[in-house]
Amino acid sequence: GACRLLVTTPTHAYQRRSQLALLNTSRAPPSPQAPRKRSSSTAVVPPAMAPKTLVTFDVDGTLIHSVGNNANKFHKDAFAFAFKKVFNLDTNIDVIHHHGSTDQLVAADVLAFHGISKEEIWANMPATCTAMLEHAAGAEDNAAAGLELLPGVERLLQTLAARDDTVVALVTGNLEPIAWTKMRRLGIYQHFTAPGIGGFGSDHTLRGELVKIAADRCAKELGVEVGPRFHVGDTPNDVIAAEFAGAVALGVTTGIFSKEELEASATEKEKCVVLDGLNDLDAVLKAFQLA
């Protein structure tokens, strides 16, 4: 269906830090968003007695990585399809630096690279998102092409899913249907707390807001009291986002950024832990204060 509109206004301090962390230099003003459609009939469960730990995971570079000639083809093709359908442009997202960004900002930066005005970009962003999801729906069977789970990911998710004191969710710049399609096709969807919650690139352009959105949905949709919060990601923007939203950042060096770069992006050093990856289960659980 068509994307609904939600106008958001990021805080200036966060937006400035977020911009510095990205390699992109141009950013759009507060923009039309495409939030998820949710049933108004969903029953609200009374809050649990004990607070639960909320762990949110970034997707690309954190849980999965791109491999081979078809690296992340499903997602990249969705962008290319939308650029062609909405703007009649034959292009792809690799004309810009997009690591750590969110889908709407990635699309906006590609279009700006080709000289499209900000006004035209954001006026057509709902149509761009809709076109991306149209392509994704038709290509779902190939969603895992050029993608692999990173070491330790499945074991960690299984371990967290088996606990009754933890909620496992996503916070990713991916549009929500694209994110969950990747999780299903890679065989790990069932390890996320049902019915599948998080913050997504279809909700907001700024990652810090997505971490907040995930916590709000956890409380509202699961009816649980949210206790300690941790956000796991592979970019400086993930670290900044966690800090902005009041969560502890667990940075992983499984993307393109080093331990030093991830640590340097944190102003509250005691709320940032950086590991080589998610394969050391004991170390990860210790970082989550669950060991």
- Asked if residue 158 lies in contact with residue 191, where contact means CB atoms within 8 angstroms, the answer is yes
Average pLDDT over residues 265-272: 94
What backbone torsions phi and psi does residue 199 show, to the nearest 5 degrees? -125, 135
115, 157 Cβ separation under 8 angstroms: no
Closest to 106 (Cα-Cα) out of 78, 142, 137: 78
Q: How many CA atoms lie within 13 A of 93 on its CB side?
A: 25
| 192-237 per-position pLDDT tens digit | 999 999 999 999 999 999 999 999 999 999 999 999 999 999 999 9
Q: Considering the entire predicted model, what is its pTM?
A: 0.83
**Residue 24 has which token pair?**
């992109």
Residue recorded with tokens 């007695």: 49
pLDDT for 99: 84
> Looking at the predicted structure, is the pLDDT value of residue 114 above 50?
yes
- H helices, E strands: number in the chain: 11, 8
Q: Are 170 and 57 in contact (CB under 8 A)?
A: yes
Average pLDDT for 73-98? 97
Q: Are 78 and 164 in contact (CB under 8 A)?
A: no
pLDDT of residue 29 exceeding 50: no
Instruction: Give the model's pLDDT for residue 19.
Output: 42
> Does the pLDDT value for residue 174 go beyond 80?
yes
% of the chain with per-residue pLDDT over 70: 83
| 7: confidence class by pLDDT, cuts 50, 70, 90 | very low
User: What's the pLDDT at 100?
Assistant: 79
The answer to whether 151 and 278 are in contact (CB under 8 A) is: yes
Q: Which of 171, 178, 199, 152 is nearest to 72 (CA)?
A: 178
pLDDT at 28 over 70: no
Tokens 């065989």 found at: 187
